[in-house]
Structure 1
Amino acid sequence: MHRPPTVEAEVADELAVVRPGLVSRYTAELPGARAAVLTRLWRALAHEPLPWIARRGPGVLRLSDGRWLHGPVADPYATSAYVSAVRLDGVSYDDPARLMTGLAVPHGAYFASELAHSVASLALSRAGQKGHPKEWPNWDWDWEWEQRVVDGHPFHPNCRSRPGFSVDEQLAYGPEHSSHVRLGLMPVGARECLVTGEWPDRMRDGERLLIPVHPWQAEHVLKRPLDLDAAAHPLMSLRTLALPGVRGPHVKTALSTRLTSSVRDISQWSISTSAILSAFAEQMAARTDGLLHTTRTIGAITAHSPDLAAVLRESPQVYGDQARGERVVPVAALATTELPRSPAWLADFARLALTVGLRLLELGVALEAHGQNLLVVLSPTGAPLRLVYRDLADIRISPARLARHGIPLPELTGRVVTDDETTLRRKLFGSLVAGALAGTAGSGTALRAALETAVRDLPRTPDLVALLEEPLPTKALTLMRLSPGTPGDQWAQLPNPLRSETVLERDTFDQ
């Protein structure tokens, strides 16, 4: 029987046309890409509250239909690709998309397609990577750090899923492939736009405002050619780019396609609240004794459409002293250096991150401090000095906690405002501990050692007690992709790395 071509084969065929010299490298990278995505998927199967998994034990899952799934004991904090295959009722699967198809669960077919794209795009990313040294680089350009992150999200099975992007477009726009992207400029009458903050003169044309547009968006969504601005540098989120200059501002563009989990458009709410959130964040950062800076939003604009909007904000590099040799590095890029290999360094970084995160949480602000939003200011020798936070759209603010400290609530409504302690702690712990710190540590053992040292001298607030004693929350990323009818975040509970038992310990049961 004739089988339709796989996504991997389709990418190879496209690559043979647009970049034939990469085909052999792409093919060689496919097994490692499958293992990387399968490892992320196995983590989700082992730890997320998926309704069709009846029971769990070390390396074994009992499905609700009676089938068995066997694999390695899952370290929920490991970032290396240690799962090369799993067995479903005795049949071995080394391909995550085929495993998901074999599971035959609700909405699994669509998710399997996303996994296939993730594998193929990850192999393409690894094949086309520029090759970065592990030793400490002497870089002044923030985009050079961003473009070191080749594998994407360390725990999401859709770490490199880019449906809607051709191979040629991935090579042209992906930060791991391309250093430059020419942004388009869409002229829109000033009366037709909502603008907050200051929109720069260089992005004005008389009575019209020029909205930066990603070239993919111009072609596939707006469907019109645009005048091209100077080349900008794509950052790890792909839709955010650094404008020219050592400390040139960053522009976040709308990109109406699903990357990883979310469609990357920009809501009118985000534009309307951007100036308020920016000013409030600066005020709160000032309460951290100089340990945290937040990037200021310069201006935000929308033509009253989530598909045509942009946010212009400071470069995080503004907060590093170049004369002293400081570097401002996205936390997601730290794993590409040798720094996390030192337990002492990892403990120092964890102490800094938890000091800032818990201090703000006590005051009433929960940061979404994952490895993309959080940056660290490093000394010339790599010592962590301060933190920088960017992208405020998904923080959470507690009016009750602010009030306890005599801090007025900014004029905000909607999802960012909540007094629910579970929501506040999930936001911070899930992004910072289960995300940024775990991704940097690379294993449960390394994470536990760093946290044990880091928490010793921290104030014993109720939030710290929850971090010490309760399971660690993390977004149930696979459950969310398999629950298209359920809006908002869904959560899993991971074994607490600070508890005495090993992070790998699970209940056993008879097979």
Structure 2
Amino acid sequence: MAGARAAILARLWGALVREPLPGVQRQAYGGDTRVTLPGGERIIGSTALALPFAVPPEGMRLVTDTVAVDDPVELLRAVRLPGDAVRLATEIRSSLAGLALARAGQPGPQGGGPALEVLAGRADGLALLEQSVVDGHPLHPCCRTRIGMSEAEMLAYAPEHRPTVTLEVYAVPPKRWLTTGAGLAPRLPVHPWQREHVLSAYPFLKPTGEKIAARPLMSLRTLAAVGDPTRHYKTAVDVQMTSAVRIVSPAAVRNGPVVSRLLTTLSADLGLQVWPELAAGAVLGEDGTPLRSLAVVARRAPRPGPNEVVLPIAALAAPSPADGRPLIREAVTLGYGGHPAGFLADLAALIVPVLLTLLHRGAALEAHGQNLLVTLSHGRPTGLSYRDVGGVRLSPQRLRRHGADVPALHGDLASDDPAELRAKVLASGFAVALGEPIAVLAWEYGVVPELLWRLVRERVEVVYDSLPPHAVADAHAVLGEPLPLKATTAMRLAADPLTDVWASLPNPLAA
């Protein structure tokens, strides 16, 4: 429990130091930072432990005016944060319980060969590597929040506990079924949590007897079939995980197949493999509205080649099943003889051109560590994949300029605001998808992070040298403006916790 407390306290402390919270002031002195809250209360802690992806020691403490605390829930009791601190405390309490359970349930190192070699070429390797991600979101203090799920249910369904989950398929009256893309028969695969907690309100859904054994991926509600691990099902689970209840919205049902096809076309010359959302389906309510609690998206993942593993970028920081050290160390050893700069340079060479060229063309990917995946061959990055199109932003103006057809879009995917488009890409793909591997390499190898970021900057400059002159505004923002990062704690304290709020970090790409 001490390690879980420190991990979440460090995430919360980082948020208090960097996020735009009303009336909060910060002052750094020596190796510490003092945060002064609107009511005058003060919190003092290590400046280094407030940095993104910091690795806190067990027993990490923050000092308030009245007490020293090593527990994030105690900190929220001791001070008055602006906004809905009661909601945040409830969510962090759930996160702390979930993370402690996750860490307590991990097996020790298994020994044997490197996991990246043992799992090479295996279709189930993706799920097994995703399930090695124990701590969840690397910056969010609600990294393991699962409000509405009991401890027994977390053990039965959460990926870090490595279960096999049985999806049951229910027959839907054809007149109550909406399907998109290639089309799904009126059959709804239902997550067992949803079956137990939601399905009784819909007696017209009848079990078919068909069952699908599947392994949960990082998002818990998305699962890979055991019989064919390339078949993925994004299911609805009415549980709050991190910041949102994980339903499948009507917009996701309608957008998924169309947007994944568009992204495939836009990136055809860039080497990005977009995992197609082949079809989606939703039960219709009595008024004809798709029900977000009774919907599914069918996705197809690629099969790895004989010497390949495919894994989310986030899994590079996860402990290897072989020795418990970050998986990125295996890649650096296998592919680069222990020299981390070579790995980072090759990873950046895959990520940077794809994200910035697609931004220029009108597609801003939400390329965080769960959605962006890398193919490794003998430890070397050789391919890039993207999945889950629900968080992208598409600029009709930029798409038309590029000569692309703009499909009908539902929900909030369409935006021509350049600041919103850039923030989506930079906060996910640069601050997190590149920021976390750089932080882990710096920690593991004693490398100065600025040297690794310089390799990223060089790749950015090459990309913008090759793009048309009207990309100059994007280039100036990427290389000169503060780096955006989603302010997840400020959002949880806000009256509307789902509206994006951005923190600003010093830009490591700036000259």
Normalised by the size of structure 1, how large is the TM-score? Answer: 0.85
- Distance in 2 separating the partners of 1:108 and 1:495: 28
- 3-state SS of 2:385 partner: strand
Shift of 1:272: 1.5
Partner in structure 2 of residue 268 of structure 1 = 250
Alignment counterpart, residue 358 of structure 1, candidates 356, 362, 375? 356
- Distance in 2 separating the partners of 1:421 and 1:131: 47
Partner in structure 2 of residue 72 of structure 1 = 46
Q: Indicate the larger mover: 293-302 or 483-492.
A: 483-492
Partner in structure 2 of residue 118 of structure 1 = 95
Shift of 1:401: 1.5
The answer to whether 1:310 aligns with 2:296 is yes
Query: Which one-letter code corresponds to 2:508 in the other structure?
Result: P
- Distance in 2 separating the partners of 1:145 and 1:282: 25
Matches within 5 A, 1:27-426: 30-58=1-29, 59-74=33-48, 75-82=50-57, 84-105=60-81, 106-131=83-108, 135-137=114-116, 138-139=118-119, 140=122, 141=124, 142-199=126-183, 204=185, 209-223=186-200, 226=207, 227=209, 229-288=211-270, 291-303=271-283, 304-315=290-301, 317-318=302-303, 320=304, 322-323=305-306, 325-336=307-318, 337=327, 338=329, 339=331, 342-379=340-377, 381-426=378-423
- Distance in 1 separating the partners of 2:162 and 2:53: 29
The answer to whether 1:436 aligns with 2:410 is no
Shift of 1:132: 5.3
Alignment counterpart, residue 473 of structure 1, candidates 452, 462, 484? 484
Deviations 1:59-113 (A, max 9, x none): 1112222222100004533242258110111410110011112222331122112
- Distance in 2 separating the partners of 1:292 and 1:253: 25
Query: Does the 8 Å contact 2:39/2:80 carry over to 1?
Result: no
- Distance in 2 separating the partners of 1:118 and 1:85: 18
- Distance in 2 separating the partners of 1:167 and 1:152: 17
- Distance in 1 separating the partners of 2:314 and 2:64: 33
Two-structure CA RMSD over aligned residues (Å)? 2.1
Overall identity of the aligned pairs, in %: 40
- 3-state SS of 2:46 partner: coil
- Distance in 2 separating the partners of 1:446 and 1:350: 17
- Distance in 2 separating the partners of 1:131 and 1:190: 49
Partner in structure 1 of residue 286 of structure 2 = none
- 3-state SS of 1:229 partner: strand
Shift of 1:409: 1.6
- 3-state SS of 2:458 partner: coil
- 3-state SS of 1:275 partner: helix
- Cα 1:353/1:294, change in 2 over 3 Å: same
Query: Does the 8 Å contact 1:132/1:148 carry over to 2?
Result: no
Alignment counterpart, residue 450 of structure 2, candidates 440, 448, 451? 448
Deviations 1:144-165 (A, max 9, x none): 1110101100000001111211
- Cα 1:482/1:452, change in 2 over 3 Å: same
- Distance in 2 separating the partners of 1:294 and 1:132: 33
- Distance in 2 separating the partners of 1:132 and 1:144: 14
- Distance in 2 separating the partners of 1:169 and 1:484: 30
Partner in structure 1 of residue 287 of structure 2 = none
Query: Does the 8 Å contact 2:263/2:274 carry over to 1?
Result: yes
- 3-state SS of 2:453 partner: helix
Partner in structure 1 of residue 323 of structure 2 = none
- Cα 1:165/1:198, change in 2 over 3 Å: same
Partner in structure 2 of residue 6 of structure 1 = none
- Cα 1:413/1:222, change in 2 over 3 Å: closer
Shift of 1:447: 4.7
Query: Does the 8 Å contact 1:79/1:154 carry over to 2?
Result: no
- Cα 1:162/1:446, change in 2 over 3 Å: farther
Partner in structure 1 of residue 424 of structure 2 = 427
Structure 2: segments with no counterpart, 5+ residues: 284-289, 319-326, 333-337, 465-470
Query: Which one-letter code corresponds to 2:463 in the other structure?
Result: P
- Distance in 2 separating the partners of 1:487 and 1:332: 23
- Distance in 1 separating the partners of 2:183 and 2:106: 35
Query: Which one-letter code corresponds to 1:166 in the other structure?
Result: S
- Cα 1:446/1:157, change in 2 over 3 Å: farther
- 3-state SS of 1:232 partner: strand
Query: Which one-letter code corresponds to 1:155 in the other structure?
Result: L
- Distance in 1 separating the partners of 2:373 and 2:240: 25
- Distance in 2 separating the partners of 1:79 and 1:250: 33
Query: Does the 8 Å contact 1:194/1:272 carry over to 2?
Result: no
- 3-state SS of 1:223 partner: helix
- Distance in 2 separating the partners of 1:350 and 1:475: 21
Q: Indicate the larger mover: 442-451 or 86-95.
A: 442-451
- Distance in 1 separating the partners of 2:419 and 2:450: 22
Query: Does the 8 Å contact 2:34/2:43 carry over to 1?
Result: yes
Query: Does the 8 Å contact 2:238/2:246 carry over to 1?
Result: yes
Query: Does the 8 Å contact 1:101/1:108 carry over to 2?
Result: no
Moved over 6 A (4+): none
Shift of 1:276: 1.2
Query: Which one-letter code corresponds to 2:490 in the other structure?
Result: L
Shift of 1:131: 4.2
- Distance in 2 separating the partners of 1:302 and 1:56: 51
Query: Which one-letter code corresponds to 2:71 in the other structure?
Result: D
Structure 1: segments with no counterpart, 5+ residues: 1-29, 501-511
Query: Which one-letter code corresponds to 2:294 in the other structure?
Result: L
Query: Which one-letter code corresponds to 2:454 in the other structure?
Result: E
The answer to whether 1:459 aligns with 2:463 is yes
- Distance in 1 separating the partners of 2:484 and 2:506: 9
